[in-house]
Amino acid sequence: EVQLVESGGGLVQPGGSLRLSCAASGFTFSSYDMGWFRQAPGKEREAVAAIDTDGDTSYAPSVKGRFTISKDTAKNTFDLQMHSLKPEDTAMYFCAAEEGRSSFGLLVAAGVVPHENEYKYWGQGTQVTVST
């Protein structure tokens, strides 16, 4: 069965960096689109970053230039490298995956981060807290 497991969350000071990783299993990794989401208490889930089967990426305006999504097909993992972290980045971060399709790729090519409804599979989440 498909499984996604996040790791790398923790407490970091403003301006610091953190790298999240999502370990995937149970499917052909190279055939799936991937993404990262976050949700703070009392707020809607927000699409943060996406990477399609070709390796093209897109980002939410709030993180563009600070976060980088990448994947390693040899290890079946994809990461979210976060720099210049702000208190507003504090949230539970989730990784997600969906079987690759052209519509996802078109959204990414347009600079749009696909909505949560575009994904079928989700990890359990890892907490990121940015605070002094």
DSSP character string of the chain = --EEEEE--EEE-TT--EEEEEEEESS-GGGEEEEEEEE-TTS--EEEEEE-TTS-EEE-TTTTTTEEEEEETTTTEEEEEE-S--GGG-EEEEEEEEE--HHHHHHHHTTPPPPGGG--EE---EEEEE--
| Per-residue pLDDT reduced to its tens digit, 58-96 | 999 999 999 999 999 999 999 999 999 999 999 999 999
Q: Can you tell me the distance from the alpha carbon of 12 to that of 84, in angstroms, rounded to the nearest whole number? A: 10
Residue 64's pLDDT is 97
Angle of CA points 89, 121, 73, to nearest 5°? 85
pLDDT of residue 132: 93
Reported confidence tier of residue 128, pLDDT bands at 50, 70, 90: very high
